[in-house]
Amino acid sequence: MAERQSIEAFLQGPGPVVDVRAPAEFEKGHIPGAQNLPLFSDQERAEVGTSHKQQGRTAAVQLGLSLVGPKLAFLGEKLQTLSKSHPGQPLKIHCWRGGMRSGSIAWLAETLDLEVLLLEGGYKSYRQWVLALMEQPWPIRLLGGRTGTGKTDLLVALAEQGVAVLDLEGLANHRGSSFGGLGLPAQPTTEHFENKIAEVLQQHRSAQEIWVEAESVQVGRCRIPSGLWQQMQGAPLLEITRPVEERLEQLVAVYGIQDPLALADATQRIARRLGPQRTKTALEAIEQADWHGACAQMLDYYDRCYDHELERHGQTEEPSPRERLDCAGLTAQGAAEQLIESGTATRSAGQHH
């Protein structure tokens, strides 16, 4: 019989994670890095579920056996290939609740003399662990600044210097504005976004501070979990500033390479908030490939949005401390080094460069 492990032991030990749920379940959210080896297709899973409701457990099991029987050789080959690519490591298998699906694949793997571990409680217990993690206290330090100040680049540079960073925009595949998804891969579901956040927080469990960019509660379509969001609201804030010309250069570098039609669509989406004159000027600038002109129209609007958010930040029972850093003329790497040298940002233990 395969050993069953609690979630923390399951995640921390060696070996590939094999998620045997249906593709649609996996797509909605999964343990980061897991590989999907579905016992049933989406349609087959629906059929087994219907059979269970209408005819009972025995009929559903019998239907499941008839569906899986012809796939056993294929599933066995996949398990052996996975095992060979991770020599000396167990296959870490789970389904939704740690029931029949993972048990069946574990039986098949053991029949092939492969070492197996099962996740106690399945993906359901993992999700409970993820959500509980968000409610725990974390040493959050917020990085703020108006659009174009290079906050994301600075976070990346801090991470490269060994500072603990939670890059929400990177995990969400979105820059957090109407233009935020341009040129980026599709966003994960909010559920999978939460899973990715949990993975990073777990990695930084012993950090003295974790740097996070100041965000709205929604990063594109991904929602920041409420436990973490509340902590961000009360966290100490470092606001970085740059001259307007440098900010425009930064925006042109990011958006000047995007599809002009996509830029125009994104501009139309915020037309009501931009106002008719600014929208018209921005669209004309995009049509003429005048990226500086287009970005300048957006900057005023986003500055007002940011200033409004900043006013609301830290309006808790104990106001959070706030500092400012002028990054004029500094690269992201230069700004990161300055923060570390000044003691504002500290490297994680064992990560000194």
Q: Are residues 119 and 230 in the same domain?
A: no
In a domain, 348, yes or no: no
**In which domain, by residue range, is 286 found?**
137-341
- Calculate the alpha carbon distances from 213 to 75, 179, 219, 255 in Å: 43, 17, 11, 20
Q: Are residues 124 and 165 in the same domain?
A: no
Contact between 16 and 91 (Cβ < 8 Å): yes
Residue range 25-70, pLDDT digits in tens? 999 999 999 999 999 999 999 999 999 999 999 999 999 999 998 8
| Sheet bearing 35-36, strands edge to edge | 3-5, 116-119, 91-94, 17-19, 35-36
Q: Which residue has the higher pLDDT, 198 or 176?
A: 198
- What was the pLDDT predicted at 98? 92
Q: Are residues 43 and 159 in the same domain?
A: no
Would the pTM of this model clear 0.75, i.e. be above it?
yes
In a domain, 271, yes or no: yes
Q: How confident is the model at residue 273 (pLDDT cuts 50, 70, 90)?
A: confident
Q: How confident is the model at residue 83 (pLDDT cuts 50, 70, 90)?
A: very high
Q: Which residue has the higher pLDDT, 301 or 17?
A: 17
Q: Which residue has the higher pLDDT, 193 or 324?
A: 193
Determine which one of 95, 222, 295, 327 is catalytic: 95
Q: Give the best-scoring range by mean pLDDT among 58-62, 89-93, 240-244.
A: 89-93
In a domain, 222, yes or no: yes
Q: How confident is the model at residue 1 (pLDDT cuts 50, 70, 90)?
A: confident
Q: Are residues 326 and 268 in the same domain?
A: yes
Question: What CATH number did the domain enclosing 297 receive?
Answer: 3.40.50
Q: Are residues 186 and 295 in the same domain?
A: yes
- What was the pLDDT predicted at 306? 80
In a domain, 353, yes or no: no
- What was the pLDDT predicted at 206? 93
Q: How confident is the model at residue 198 (pLDDT cuts 50, 70, 90)?
A: very high
In a domain, 61, yes or no: yes
Q: Is 95 a catalytic residue?
A: yes
What are the tokens at 141? 């330090």
> Judging by beta carbons within 10 Å of its beta carbon (0-12, 13-18, 19+), is residue 197 exposed, middle or buried?
buried
HSE, CB side, 13 Å, CA atoms: give it for residue 201: 23
Residue range 303-351, pLDDT digits in tens? 888 887 777 765 555 556 788 999 999 999 999 999 999 888 888 764 4
Q: Which domain-ending residue is among 85, 102, 131?
A: 131
In a domain, 349, yes or no: no
Q: Are residues 9 and 45 in the same domain?
A: yes
Q: Which domain-ending residue is among 83, 104, 131?
A: 131
Residue range 110-144, pLDDT digits in tens? 999 999 999 999 999 999 999 999 999 999 999 99
Q: Are residues 250 and 177 in the same domain?
A: yes
Average pLDDT of the segment spanning 79-102 = 96
Counting the structural domains of the chain, the total is: 2
Average pLDDT of the segment spanning 135-155 = 94
- What was the pLDDT predicted at 353? 43
- What was the pLDDT predicted at 317? 54
Q: Are residues 276 and 199 in the same domain?
A: yes
In a domain, 117, yes or no: yes
Contact between 100 and 194 (Cβ < 8 Å): no
Q: Which residue has the higher pLDDT, 83 or 313?
A: 83
- What was the pLDDT predicted at 349? 61
Q: Are residues 184 and 89 in the same domain?
A: no
Q: Are residues 195 and 312 in the same domain?
A: yes
Q: Which domain-ending residue is among 131, 161, 177?
A: 131
Distance from the Cα of residue 203 to its chain's centroid:
14
Q: How high is the mean pLDDT of the chain?
A: 91
Q: Which residue has the higher pLDDT, 271 or 176?
A: 271
- What was the pLDDT predicted at 352? 44
Residue range 203-232, pLDDT digits in tens? 999 999 999 999 889 999 999 999 999 999
Q: Are residues 171 and 193 in the same domain?
A: yes
In a domain, 102, yes or no: yes
Q: How confident is the model at residue 178 (pLDDT cuts 50, 70, 90)?
A: confident
Tell whether the model's pLDDT for residue 272 goes beyond 70: yes
Q: Are residues 74 and 141 in the same domain?
A: no
> Which amino acid, 77?
E
Q: Which residue has the higher pLDDT, 300 or 44?
A: 44
Contact between 174 and 222 (Cβ < 8 Å): yes
Question: What CATH number did the domain enclosing 87 receive?
Answer: 3.40.250.10
- What was the pLDDT predicted at 255? 83
